[in-house]
Structure formats: structure tokens, C-alpha cells
Structure 1
Amino acid sequence: MRVALLLRGVNVGGVTVRSADLRALLADAGLGDVATVLASGNAVVTAGSAATAATTAEAALEARYGRRIRVLGIEVDALQRIVDAYPHGEDDEHTPYVVFELEPGIAEELAALDPGEGESIAAGAGVVHWANPKGTTLTSPFAKALERTAKDRVTTRNVRTLRKVIAAA
């Protein structure tokens, strides 16, 4: 099965994982048909299950970089359903995001937060769909609450990036 791997916190904050290195590392760890997407910690692999792919990737990354890098593994078909379910309109004034929980229950907790002016949030199964005014990704009320309450327990991707991940599958 094709599995998307979304690495949390790489290529920001001092941990650089180059696409070529990530491709080689995942292939050497036994994951098949590895493709990386952009320089933002995204890959698509062939594996028996999403959970196995994520565990394998995390172990290989920790061995290589000497620290835990959390990885969300999700079947590409499931990722497509999440993107298709994005409930907010996409326009030039907003940035469309999906916030993926890395620990059960975080999405529900985040969906209960109040969005700021111009923001929209909606819960899905294990995700929060979020739209925020352009230029406020780090400063909006929801972004600040996200940083405070769930920083290391989620990984966030732009919906446009997720479409590229799906296309790479």
C-alpha cells in the first residue's frame, strides 16, 4: 500500500533533513518505492501498513540524527479523503491547513478552541481543518493556541502541499 509520511518539525528549528538524504534513509530502512515531496519532510513509500512505515521511519531518523523526529504515517487514500473533506473555501486571502494529531484526542481538544477573526476551524477524524488570513500562520489566535497546547503533539500541512504528496503517490 502507498503510505504518506509526514515528518514533524524538520527543516525548521535547526533540524535539516534533505530530500535526497530522506529518500536514501527510508529506502535503506526497508521502505519501498520512496518518493520525497518538496523540502518539507514529506515522503510517500510502499509499506505493509501506515503504522509500520511510521515506526520504521522514526527509528531510522533517530539512528541517523540522534533525536526523535515524530512521523505520521497515513494511507494515501485516507489522506485524499481528508483533503477532499476540507470544508473551508480556498481563496487568495486565506491559507488552507490540515492539523494532524500525533496523539489521540488532540484534534478534538483543538477544535474546541475559538478561532480568531477571519479564521475558520472544523474537526475531522483525527484532524482539524484550519483556514487563516494570509500572513498570520504564526500569529493568529488559533496559531498561538496551537503552539501553547499542542506544539509537539501535532503536525500541520498546507492543503496544497498535501495535494502534491498525493500526486507523488
Structure 2
Amino acid sequence: MKYCAFLRGVNVKGTNMKMADVCQVFKEAGMKDVSSILASGNIVFSSDKKVSDLKVILEKSMSEYFSYEAFLFIKSLAEIEAFWKGNPFEKNDDFHSYTFVGNGGVETVLMKEFELASKTENEKGEIINDIFYWQVPKGNTLDSSFGKILGKKSMKDQFTSRNINTFEKILKKMNS
């Protein structure tokens, strides 16, 4: 079965790694057809193992090789299609749209945080099919009140975020 692993905290705040090295770690852990999408830690691969087993194997392999506490979230092709198709926001060059990949139920935690945050003009958050989507004016991602929760240490094992366009790139790779 084809999967994509979304790594948390890759190539930010001093955790730097080459995607070729990450792919090699996945191969050595027994994954097949391994390739990366962008430098933000999106690894497409094939395996016959269960997702729960893959998560344990890959987090351990990544942690040992790169000497950091690895967190990753593994999604199937069907799940990635749901992320892409569920986006409630129209494409607008003045905004970034993000979606959050994470543990079950994290979307409600994110929505609660979003509702408590002060917002910039036209900043929006929405849950569609248990997936949290966020739209923010370009240039405000890290400065927004909600954007600041993305780096909270207490949330590091709960989710990671990606620009919605990343899902389109991942789908193209998975379907090729």
C-alpha cells in the first residue's frame, strides 16, 4: 500500500536533514518506492505493514539516525485525497491555506485554540471531515496569534501542518 509520512519539525529551528538521507533511513527500515516531496519532510513510500507498526518503526529509525525525537504522521493515498478535496477555501493568491495532519481528535483542539486566538482580517479556520483547515493572509502565518501555537512544545507529538498545495504535489507523486 502507498503512504505518505509527514515529519514534524524538519528543517526548522536547527533540525536540519537532507531528504536523501531521510529516504535512505526509510529504505533501511524496509520501506519500498521511497521518495521525498519538498524539503519539509513529506516521504512517499510503499509497505505492507500496518500504519501503527510503521509509525513505531519509522520514528525509532529517524530518531536514532538523526539524534532527535522524531514525530511523524502516516496517511494513505485515500486519506491524502480527502485532505486535498476537503479544502473549504477558494484559491486566493493573497492567502496561505494550511491543513493539519495529526492524531485523531487534534482538529477539535486546534479549533478551540483558533477560536481563542485573536485573528487577522479574513483569517479563517474550519473543520471538514475531521480535518482542520486554516487560511491566513500571506505574511501573517507566524505572526498570527494562532500561528504561534504551531510551535508549542506541548503540541509537538499531536500534529504537523502543511500548505494545501503540498497535498497536490504528494498526490501527483503517489499516482505516478
TM-score, length basis structure 2: 0.87
Report what 2:93 is aligned to.
92
Q: Is the 8 A contact 1:2 1:44 kept in 2?
A: yes
Large movers: runs of 4+ above 3 Å:
145-151
Q: Secondary structure at the match of 1:168?
A: helix
2:46 aligned partner, one-letter code: T
Looking at structure 2, the residues matched to 85 and 51 of structure 1 have their Cα atoms a distance apart, in angstroms, of 24
Q: Secondary structure at the match of 1:123?
A: strand
Structure 1 residues 41 and 146: alpha-carbon distance in aligned structure 2, compared to 1, 3 A threshold: closer
Query: Post-superposition shift, 1:148?
Result: 4.7
2:40 aligned partner, one-letter code: S
Q: Is the 8 A contact 2:6 2:101 kept in 1?
A: no
1:156 aligned partner, one-letter code: S
Looking at structure 2, the residues matched to 70 and 149 of structure 1 have their Cα atoms a distance apart, in angstroms, of 12
Query: Post-superposition shift, 1:62?
Result: 1.0
Looking at structure 2, the residues matched to 90 and 132 of structure 1 have their Cα atoms a distance apart, in angstroms, of 12
Report what 2:21 is aligned to.
21
Aligned residues: 168
Q: Is the 8 A contact 1:31 1:45 kept in 2?
A: yes
2:21 aligned partner, one-letter code: D
2:168 aligned partner, one-letter code: R
Pairing partner for 2:162 from 150, 153, 157: 157
Q: Is the 8 A contact 1:3 1:53 kept in 2?
A: no
User: Is structure 2 residue 147 aligned with structure 1 residue 129?
Assistant: no
Looking at structure 1, the residues matched to 147 and 106 of structure 2 have their Cα atoms a distance apart, in angstroms, of 14
Report what 2:76 is aligned to.
75
Q: Is the 8 A contact 1:4 1:75 kept in 2?
A: yes
Question: What value does the CA root-mean-square deviation take over the aligned residues?
Answer: 1.8
Query: Post-superposition shift, 1:68?
Result: 1.4
Query: Post-superposition shift, 1:144?
Result: 2.5
Q: Is the 8 A contact 2:86 2:129 kept in 1?
A: no
2:31 aligned partner, one-letter code: L
Query: Post-superposition shift, 1:149?
Result: 8.5
Report what 2:3 is aligned to.
3
Deviates more, 1:73-82 or 1:2-11: 73-82
TM-score, length basis structure 1: 0.91
Pairing partner for 1:138 from 137, 142, 147: 142
Q: Is the 8 A contact 2:25 2:61 kept in 1?
A: yes
